[in-house]
A and B are shown apart, each in its own frame.
Chain A
Amino acid sequence: MKELKSETILEVKNLKKVYIKKNGDPHIAVNEISFELMKGEIFSFLGPNGAGKSTTINMLTAQLTPTSGEILFQGQSLKDNPIFAKSKVGVVAQHNNLDRGLTARENLIYHGQYFGMSQAEAANRADELLESFGLTDWKNDYVKSFSGGMAQRLKIARAIMHQPEILFLDEPTTGLDPAYREVLWQQVLRLNKEFNTTVFLTTHYMEEPERFSDKVAIYNKGVIKAIGTVQELRELVPSQTIISITLDYVTEEIVDEVKKLPNVISLSVKDEKNCIIYAENSKTVLNELLIWIENKHLSLESINLSATTLDDIFIYLTTNDKKNN
């Protein structure tokens, strides 16, 4: 049984990071965001590329100094006590930062020892983790010979070697095939369930947070647009069903005209060919839309009526200018 999530493990208050560009102009990567994580929670931090997700993770894991704001681990300031904070976290970075000159087993043993484990304790735990992640057969191989999937599994094993209280996963399944993604998720969920490990996740695969997250934040341009459970976020979207259309091109004129159709509440342009329509009565709008497309002699590649997914919520919140929180 998962423990009751009552204890706040991480508090982020008005966190801000400003970079100075080469021309001297400031670039606000993270703009005064605030949120908190409860112990044992799986929290997904979703945003488009370049939104500032990794910058946020780097600040939360003491790898980057914030411009302003406060980060508290179990009430203790990261700025005042970075060593305490670092003892609480495990980090799986986007890139491969494993020790290529060491074997898989040595990578884990050294990591454990950096966190105060004895060689024997670290070796025992390393063997358990290698077995658990299906890497026992390669335990004495140098990491430089590992495939992307093997390296990713080892990175996760290393991050949990010292049994962190918060596990930061920065796009952990990017580049992995679906089978490995499933294996990794089973491991993460087991940690969460058995050890009450809090998980902070960024990912581009929307089905992952939809399946596993207790709480999701939609983040764009340095600002949290919305935060809550998937169901709470779903309520921010104007309708529970959506119409996705693919035309050979989407122009501003088309967007304006579709928005004027009866029962259409809102429209998000996904890219130059795709847009998503939120409507009060989707089935009626679907019929009207088909007639309108035919009258306009537009080339319709596909049209689809579906229930709102996290992907749709994400697109709605990150493509609309207005703040939705």
Chain B
Amino acid sequence: MIKKITKEVMEKKLNQLNVFKIMVRRDLLIQSRDWKEFVFRVGMLPFILILTYGFILPQIGILDIDFPNQMFPGVLGMSLLVTGIHGTAVPLAMDFNNTREIEDRLQAPVNVKIVAWAKMFVGIIESWIGALIVLPISLIFMGSHLNISLDVASGLFLFVVLLLSSITSATLGLLVGTIVKPTQIAAMFPGFLMPLIFTGAIFFNWSALQTIPVIKYLTLINPLVYINEALRFILNSSGETMPLIFSLSGIVIFTLIMGYYGMKRFIKMANR
């Protein structure tokens, strides 16, 4: 027998923040059920890059033994950005175009932006996990060659940069997820993520590109460049880096642009 919902329940004022939290919890629950796949997806790329460029190549003498110091912030930034993009974009693309599971959340009596914020928040959490996964892998394969210094102030800056970068990754994921179709997800890796990774200054400082100025300035359209330059500056790993104010400005500007267009696309998809 279905009972009538009481007046108190029906008239209770809907709290948008509560609904946001419930939507985040739903996403995390579903993600946690596939945690093995998640760890594999997030860990494999940094693992292979660190194993090859941070361990094997320096060990056999093809790369300088100090190379892991250059590379560590780059892999950290790359893992954070790629995981955040993937964590936001792929479920969104599937939800909107394939499973259409998002329709239930879009029917909730809250601003549709809440649904987008919840998706982005989960992307942010995933991007942090993506960054954390790099630490043990780096310590195992490059630990003896890493010369990273971090004091309290730098630690605080590192937190701010990681936070801003994870937001950048989620906004980029929001934009990508509302553009790509599920059939295009396979092409997303070679067509979007690979260029993003390999032009994102993960193996070298951005200033090292001064011998090829065209490439140097072209890479400025890649948000990963600013993230990695900011991380190198804070971790004081090696070489000349972009001034922190420039790299932070780059991260903020990219976040605002991607966030604006991502949200616009999301609202359009929600009301199509």
Chain A interface (Cβ < 8 Å from any Cβ of B): 61-65, 83-84, 86-87, 89, 91, 93, 95, 97-102, 106, 110-111, 113-117, 121, 125, 128-129, 132, 158, 160, 162-163, 190-191, 194-195
- 6 cross-chain pairs, A with B, having the tightest CB-CB distances, nearest first: A114-B108, A87-B109, A101-B30, A116-B14, A86-B109, A97-B100
B1-29 interface with A by 8 A CB criterion: 1-5, 9-10, 12-15, 18-19, 22-23, 26, 29
Chain A positions within 8 Å of B4 at CB level: 163, 194-195
Question: B29 and A102: CB pair below 8 A?
Answer: yes
Q: Are B111 and A163 in contact (CB under 8 A)?
A: no
- Report 14 cross-chain contacts, Cβ distance below 8 Å, ordered by A residue: A61-B107, A63-B106, A64-B271, A83-B111, A87-B109, A106-B29, A113-B19, A113-B22, A114-B107, A116-B18, A121-B9, A158-B104, A162-B5, A163-B5
Residue pairs across A and B with CB atoms within 8 Å: the count is 98
Interface on chain B toward A: helix, strand, loop, or mixed SS?
loop
Given contacts A63-B271, A110-B26, A132-B2, contact A95 B100 (CB under 8 A): yes
Q: What residues of A have a CB within 8 angstroms of the CB of B15 in the complex? A: 116
Nearest residue (CB) in A for B272 is A64
Query: A84, A100, A110: which has the most chain B beta carbons within 10 Å?
Result: A110
* Pair A101/B109 contact, Cβ less than 8 Å: no
Neighbouring A residues of B9 by C-beta, 8 Å:
116-117, 121
CB distance from B122 to the nearest CB of A (A): 13
A98 and B30 CA atoms in complex are apart in Å by 13
Cβ contact of A93, chosen from B2, B23, B30, B103, cutoff 8 A:
B103
Picked from B18, B99, B109, the residue with its CB within 8 Å of the CB of A97 is B99
Docked pose: A87 CA to B100 CA in angstroms: 20
8 Å CB contact of A86 from B13, B99, B108: B108
Contacts of B10 in A (CB 8 A): 163
Closest Cβ neighbor of B3 among chain A residues: A128
User: Does B110 count as interface, using CB distance less than 8 angstroms?
Assistant: yes
Report chain A residues within 8 Å CB of B99: 97, 100
Q: Distance in Å from the Cβ of B202 to the closest Cβ of chain A?
A: 33
**Cβ A116 vs Cβ B12 within 8 A:** yes
Residues of the A chain whose Cβ atoms lie less than 8 Å from the Cβ of B14: 83, 87, 115-116
On whether the beta carbons of B23 and A101 are closer than 8 Å, the reply is no
A135 to B271, CA, bound (A): 32
* B41 at the A interface (CB under 8 A): no
A65 cross-chain contacts in B, Cβ below 8 A = 271
Expressed in whole angstroms, the Cα–Cα distance for A97 and B94 within the complex equals 12
Hey, what's the 0/1 contact readout for B178-215 against A, CB within 8 Å counting as 1? 00000000000000000000000000000000000000
A89 partner residues in chain B, CB cutoff 8 A? 107
Whether a CB of chain A sits under 8 angstroms from the CB of B33 is yes
Question: Which A residues lie within 8 Å of B106 (CB)?
Answer: 63
Kindly state the separation between the CA atoms of A7 and B73 in the bound complex, as whole angstroms.
Answer: 65
| Whole-angstrom CA separation of A163 from B112 in the bound complex | 21
Tell me which residues across on chain B come within 8 A of A114, comparing CB atoms.
19, 22-23, 104-105, 107-110
Chain A residues closer than 8 Å to B100, beta-carbon distance: 93, 95, 97
Is the beta-carbon distance between B101 and A100 smaller than 8 angstroms?
yes
Q: A97-B101, A116-B12 are in contact. Are A102 and B26 (CB under 8 A)?
A: yes
Return the chain B residue nearest A88 by Cβ.
B109
In the bound assembly, the distance between CA atoms of A211 and B171 in angstroms comes to: 51
Contact B271 A97 (CB under 8 A): no
Residues in B with CB closer than 8 Å to A115 are 14, 108-109
Q: Is the CB of B30 within 8 A of A102?
A: yes
* A-facing residues in B195-240 (Cβ within 8 Å): none
Tell me the complex Cα distance, A93–B107, Å: 11
Q: Closest approach, in angstroms, between the C-beta of B261 and any C-beta of chain A?
A: 19
Give the distance to chain A from B227, nearest Cβ to Cβ, in Å.
31
- Shortest Cβ distance from residue B25 to the other chain A in the assembled complex, whole angstroms: 8
